[in-house]
Amino acid sequence: MNSLILRTATKILVSLMLLFSIFIMLRGHNEPGGGFVGGLIASTAFGLYAVAYGPQAVRNAIYFDPRKIAMFGLGLGILAGIIGILAKGVFLTGTWTHLGGIAIGTPVLFDLGVYFVVVGAVMTLILAMEEEE
Amino acid sequence: MNNLLVMPIVIPFSAAVLGMMFNKYKMARRGISLAGSLALLVVSTLIMLTVQRQGIFALQMGLWKAPFGITFVADHLTAIMVMLTSIIGLIGVVYSFADIDEARESFGYYSLLQVLVGGVCGAFLAGDLFNLYVWFELILISSFSLLILGGEKAQIDGAIKYIAINLVATLMFLCGIVLLYGITGTLNMADLHLKVKDVANTGLLTGIGVLFIMAFGIKSAVFPLYFWLPASYHTPPVIVSAIFSGLLTKVGIYAFMRVFTLIFTQDVAYTHNMLLIIAGFTMVSGVLGAAAHNEIRKILLFHIISQIGYLLMGVALFSPLAMVGSVYFLGHIIIVKTNLLLIGGIIKRNAATLELKLVGGYYKSAPILAIMFFVSAFSLAGFPPLSGFWAKFVLIKSSLIQGSFGIAATALAVGLMTAYSMTKIWGEAFWKPNPQEDDCSKQALSNQERYLMYGPVIGLTIMTVVMGIWAQPFLEMSNYAAQELFNPANYVKAVLGVMP
Amino acid sequence: METVLAILCGILMAASVYLMLSRNLVKFLFGLMLNTSAANLLVFNSGGLTRGNPPFIAADGTPAYANMANSVPQALILTAIVISFALLACALVMAYRAYQDLGTVDTDCMRIAEPVAEHEGPPCRKGKVIA
């Protein structure tokens, strides 16, 4: 779509939305939010970018093939489960460590995985639609 | 030790992830997929051995106690099904090396296949209903992607019918699950087995049971709900049809077996009689559909439906002996049906068509293929001493013992009709001289492709012969599975840790 | 309150079935969306409705609030929403592809996978049967 207003606004909005998506994902740990919602916000941002600048620009921006991003997220989820086996003996058991006062554990890793799966899957669909035309 | 139970999911998913990461390199994606399938076969063998040695065992994920967390359980039935899944997965991967074109492959065919295999294993291992629902959805989405991969017009057309009706099925399943949760307050199948006994309003339970019959019925393609299967399964490459026929509808039958022995047993006269009638109609309509078609794959696809009728018959008769027959039949049909479709794939590769009018002469030009088809087709029709004979023998025997003469007669007649359809394919594709003798579009297989395509076919044929001639251990295993299904106390104990 | 929601579920279900009976693929998908909403509402309703009390229990296992919310349906509904989102997104993209490739959204006119002879084709509103 060739609209100056959209293009200018998109530049600001996309960066804000991406930042917000990461915020939502991290916030999801103890409050409403999480990987799924964060991933959806991020893919909305990229979707907006695709509308304004075309699908090729999005492909350049995310650099990796969206299908690979989705599979990478799945890999993170499996990794979170396997860490549970190694640390506590049972798959998917929450395992925590403290890095400089911040508790980081496998649920965070799992949520990150969900984030990537959602971004990858939704981007695959959006780009498939945009590139069909 | 119990972490063994998540491996049938972790391994295929890891193979899918790695395969996609190295998707650029042909050898890498193939090698990873093959390695994943081999590892899955090893793990499923280990699960089988563990079940045989120490009985039913369960894994509580994340150390959440049983009715609250996600539970994975393996009993004999699950172990058999995971084993069969891993065999079909391995054979599918090997055959795909020769059958899948470069465009599909580089789009991530092997990753999707591995996700499908992992999803099917998950459905077999799931210990609670909601988890089962999630695996159903995963199977649906990955099979849908496989179905549409390649984007031919016929594929899109078939995929629409496939996903539309299957989405409705999963929604029905979801509604059934939550209604069940509403009256019992639990989703764990072992816990449900205990809780449904306290429910005063059994009519409500039966109603929910019918909702489950509808949902699983669509999934496993039974009589009035099967029309999506012949509309969609013949559109993708033959190997995809073969894998689907081996795995997908059987998940529905597995769900029937599990749920209608563990949970919905309060009004057997109603629910199981309904299943019995459905089973009879499924057999007949499937075999009639096969008789009406003149394309090898379509004939075989309609036979999937008629065989689903036999499987359901064992569930519906609701006796240990019938269940033995059903479990054995499940193993038999997964192997034989996949094999027949793979043989069809070789013919399609060679003649570029599966229309019976246009193919012929394979008895002369490919005698090994002809023998393989002959054995599998006779096994499907139920001739002794092949596996199909024992499967049908046990089922019909149990129906006669229980006095269900109608279904026994139906099963025998349908067996005869199956033989008719198989003879039709035999006469047209193998015995008749090739009508395209002078057609130079006919392509010969390269040596490598010949090994990749014939290997799986020969392997599966040997399996059906072994299952027939040396049936005792397989029937015994089915017997254990049936005993466990009809005495759920051990299952409940393995999951909840207490005797009911 | 549960009764009112149950009736609402029923109405949504009925409306969705009506929409799904249409042979227009787009209407069918709208019906499916409505059906997922109805199913999700059913999940929510089946756990029982409570107002404003979070699903926490004290360390000794006693509920922290009287009439505590049931957390399981909330987890289930979240999962169900996510799954139905994914499947509907897939189905919508596919409907779009189907419209582009097959040139129609009338499911009766999609006869490529199961071709019929010209004279016995179904009545097609768009004029002719494809393929």
Could you tell me the two tokens for C8?
């609402």
Residues 6+ apart with CB under 8 A from C103: C130
Please tell me if residue B61 touches chain A, with a CB cutoff of 8 Å. yes
Characterize the bridge pairing of strands B57-60 and B71-74.
antiparallel
Report the pLDDT averaged over residues C125-129.
48
Please report the pLDDT score of residue C130 as a whole number: 45
Chain A contacts to B (CB-CB under 8 A)? 65, 67-68, 71-72, 74-75, 78, 81-82, 84-85, 88-94
Residue C49 three-state SS: coil
Residue A43: its H or E element:
helix A35-53
Cβ separation of C97 and A132 shorter than 8 Å?
yes
CA dist B491 and B70 (Å) reads 15
What is residue C107's predicted lDDT score, i.e. its pLDDT?
80
Cβ of residue C27 closer than 8 Å to a chain B Cβ: no
Rounded Cα–Cα distance for residues B38 and B36 (Å): 5
Measured in Å, how far apart are chain B's first and last C-alpha atoms? Answer: 25
- Residue-level pLDDT at C49: 81
Residue C58, burial from CB neighbour count under 10 angstroms (0-12, 13-18, 19+): exposed
> Of residues A85 and C113, which shows the higher confidence score?
A85
Q: What is the mean pLDDT of residues C105-110?
A: 80
At residue C100's C-alpha, the angle toward residues C99 and C104, to 5°, is: 35
Q: Which residues of C touch B157 (CB under 8 A)?
A: 98, 102, 110-113
Look at the block and give the residue holding tokens 């035309």. A133
Q: Residue C113: its pLDDT value, please?
A: 77
Give the amino acid at A77: G
Q: Which residues contact B461 (CB under 8 A, 6 or more apart)?
A: B339, B372, B375, B376
Please report residues of C whose CB lies closer than 8 A to that of B154. Answer: 112-113
How much is the pLDDT for B23?
87
Contact at CB, B13 and A67, closer than 8 angstroms: no
Nearest to B127 by CA among B83, B75, B201, B168: B75
Partner residue facing A68 (CB), from B6, B20, B60 = B20
Q: Are B236 and B150 in contact (CB under 8 A)?
A: yes
**Segment B228-249, tens digit of pLDDT:** 998 899 899 999 999 999 899 8
Residue of B268, B267, B173 lying closest to B220 (CA atoms): B173
Element (H, E) at A20: helix A4-27
In chain B, the residue whose alpha carbon lies closest to the alpha carbon of A64 is B21
Is the CB of residue B403 less than 8 Å from the CB of residue B426? Answer: no
**A66 preceded by a cis bond (ω within 30 of 0):** no
Nearest CA among B453, B475, B318 for reference residue B392: B475
Please give the pLDDT value at position C127: 46
Residue with tokens 């390269």: B446
* Degrees to nearest 5, angle at CA B157 with B155 and B159: 65
Which one of B157, B234, B293 would you mutate to disrupt binding with C, by most C Cβ within 10 Å of its Cβ? B157
Q: Are C93 and C85 in contact (CB under 8 A)?
A: no
Q: Looking at the predicted structure, is the pLDDT value of residue A30 above 50?
A: yes
The half-sphere exposure of B412 on its side-chain side, counting CA atoms within 13 A, is 10
- Per DSSP, C61 falls in state S
Indicate the pLDDT class of residue A69, thresholds 50, 70 and 90. very high
Q: Hey, is A92 helix, strand or coil? A: coil
Chains interfacing with B (3 or more CB pairs < 8 Å) = A, C
C85 to chain A: nearest residue by CA?
A122
Residues in chain A within 8 Å Cβ distance of C96: 129, 132
- The Cα-based distances of B16 to A22, A78, B437, C10 in angstroms read 26, 11, 43, 41
CB contacts of A129 in chain C (<8 Å) are 93, 96
CB contact under 8 A, B160 and C101: no
Q: What is the mean pLDDT of each run of 10 residues along chain B (500 residues)?
A: 86 94 89 95 94 90 83 92 94 91 87 94 93 93 90 87 91 92 90 89 91 93 89 90 91 93 87 92 92 89 92 92 93 93 89 81 85 91 88 92 91 91 89 70 72 90 91 92 91 80
Tell me the Ramachandran region of residue C61: left when phi exceeds 0, alpha when psi lies from -120 to 50, beta otherwise.
Answer: left
Domain residue ranges in chain C: 2-51+68-102
pLDDT of residue B442: 56
**Count of Cβ atoms closer than 10 Å to residue B92 Cβ:** 28
Residue B440 pLDDT: 47
Q: In this structure, which CATH number among 3.30.70, 2.60.120, 2.30.29, 1.10.287 belongs to the domain C2-51+68-102?
A: 1.10.287
CB B203 within 8 A of CB C94: no
Query: Rounded to whole angstroms, how far apart are CA atoms C5 and B243?
Result: 43
Contact B62 A89 (CB under 8 A): no
| Set of chain A residues whose Cβ sits within 8 Å of the Cβ of B13 | 74, 78
Collect all residues of chain B within an 8 Å Cβ-Cβ radius of residue C102. 153, 156-157
Q: Judge: B230–C114 Cβ closer than 8 Å, yes or no.
A: yes
A36 contacts on C by Cβ (under 8 Å)? 82
Q: What's the gap in Å between the CA of C54 and the closest CA on chain B?
A: 18
Query: Is the model more confident about A2 or about B30?
Result: B30
Alpha carbons B391 and B60: distance in angstroms, whole number = 35
- For residues C17-40, one letter each, b for 16 or more C-beta atoms within 10 angstroms of the residue's C-beta and e for the rest, the string is eebbeeebbeebbbbbbbbbbbbb
Q: Is the dihedral of CA B211, B213, B219, B223 positive or negative?
A: negative
Q: What confidence score (pLDDT) does residue C117 get? A: 64
Whole-angstrom distance, CA of residue B289 vs CA of residue B302? 6
Q: Locate all alpha helices (DSSP H) within C21-109, ordered by sequence.
A: 25-46, 71-102
Q: Which subunits count as partners of chain C given 3+ CB pairs below 8 Å?
A: A, B
Q: What is the 3-state secondary structure (H, E, C) of A74-85?
A: HHHHHHHHHHHH
pLDDT at B349: 84
Above 80 in pLDDT, residue A44? yes
Cβ-based neighbour number of residue C92 at 10 Å? 17
**CB interface of B with A, residues 85-124, below 8 Å:** 108, 111
pLDDT beyond 60 at C128: no
Where exactly are the structural domains of chain A? Answer: 4-132
Nearest to A128 among C82, C86, C93 (CB): C93
Range with the lowest mean pLDDT among B88-102, B204-218, C13-27, C39-53?
A: C39-53
**SS3 state at A23:** helix
Give the least confident one: A85-99, B186-200, C50-64. C50-64
B408: which residues sit within 8 A by CB, 6+ positions away? B396, B399, B400
Alpha carbon distance, N-terminus to C-terminus of chain C: 53
Beta bridge partners of B74: B57
Q: Residue C108: pLDDT above 70?
A: yes
For residue C98, pLDDT over 50 is answered with: yes
Q: What pLDDT sits at residue C70?
A: 79
A: neighbours with 3+ CB pairs under 8 Å?
B, C
Cα(C15)–Cα(A8) distance, integer angstroms: 42
Q: Name chain A contacts of C97, Cβ cutoff 8 Å.
A: 128, 132
Cβ–Cβ gap B16/A68 under 8 Å: no
Q: What is the DSSP letter of C108?
A: G
The chain B residue lying nearest A78, using CA atoms, is B10
Per the DSSP assignment, residues forming a β-bridge with A97 are A104
A97 membership: H or E segment, kind and range: strand A96-99
Element (H, E) at A24: helix A4-27
Of B81, B390, B113, residue with least CA distance to B249: B81
CB contact under 8 A, C47 and B161: no
Closest residue in A to C82 (Cα–Cα): A36
CA–CA min distance C52, chain B (Å): 20
Nearest residue to B79 via CA among B10, B127, B125, B128: B125
- Provide CB contacts within 8 A for C64, sequence distance 6+: C54, C56, C57, C58
How many Cα atoms within 13 Å fall on the side-chain side of residue B8? 36
Q: Which helix (H) or strand (E) holds A120?
A: helix A106-132
Instruction: Please report residues of B whose CB lies closer than 8 A to that of C47.
Output: 181-182
Q: Which residue in B151, B164, B232 is closest to C28 by CB distance?
A: B164
- 């017009």: which residue's tokens? B153
Sign of CA dihedral B33, B116, B9, B485: negative
Burial class (CB in 10 A: 0-12, 13-18, 19+), B267: middle
Q: CB C46 to CB B156 under 8 A? A: no
SS3 labels along chain B:
CHHHHHHHHHHHHHHHHHHHHCCCCHHHHHHHHHHHHHHHHHHHHHHHHHHHHHCCEEEEHHHCCCCCCCEEEECHHHHHHHHHHHHHHHHHHHHHHHHCCHHHHHHHHHHHHHHHHHHHHHHHHECEHHHHHHHHHHHHHHHHHHHHCCCCHHHHHHHHHHHHHHHHHHHHHHHHHHHHHHHHCCCEHHHHHHHHHHCCCHHHHHHHHHHHHHHHHHHHCCHHHCCHHHHHCCCCCHHHHHHHHHHHHHHHHHHHHHHHHHCCCCCHHHHHHHHHHHHHHHHHHHHHHHHHCCEHHHHHHHHHHHHHHHHHHHHHHCCHHHHHHHHHHHHHHHHHHHHHHHHHHHHHHHHCCCECCCCCCHHHHCHHHHHHHHHHHHHHHCCCCCHHHHHHHHHHHHHHHCCCHHHHHHHHHHHHHHHHHHHHHHHHHHHCCCCCCCCCCCCCCCHHHHHHHHHHHHHHHHHHHHHHHCHHHHHHHHHHHHHHHHCCHHHHHHHHCCCC
